[in-house]
Amino acid sequence: MPIIKIDMIKGRTKEQIKAILDVSYEVMLDAFDAPEGDRYQIVTQHEDYEMAILDTGLGVERTDEVLVFTLISRPRTKDQKTTFYHNLVSRLNDELNIRKEDIMISLVENTDENWSFFNGEAQFLNGDL
């Protein structure tokens, strides 16, 4: 945990998608001090007309390589969040040549009672985690 959801326009190769998943997982482990194996990622690919990711008046131009990351996670510190944002964008840009302007991130916080990993049980609450 967290769950990392990544929305993108169709057209990337299997290798590119795997690299995006790997980088985002590694950055999350480091920034959030999460345990190895805490990996929950979902990629959703869209037609180009299914994503309208504008700039909120900031003057950013997006391309069809835009990535939207949505993380659902327990609360994190401000430093953890800003470290995650910075390191994710930097690594995707440095390693995969994805424009920094094409990466949008939103972190949605919830608490331990909002998670069930299997069996309809709340593993954080029953002591399993």
Q: Point out the residues that are catalytic.
A: 2
Taking CA atoms, 9 is separated from 39, 44, 57, 72, in Å, by: 23, 8, 22, 21
What's the token pair of residue 100?
A: 């920094």
Radius of gyration of the chain from its Cα atoms, rounded to whole angstroms: 16
Q: Tell me the residue type at 28.
A: M
12 bridge partner residues: none
Whose CA is closest to 29, among 95, 96, 91?
Answer: 91
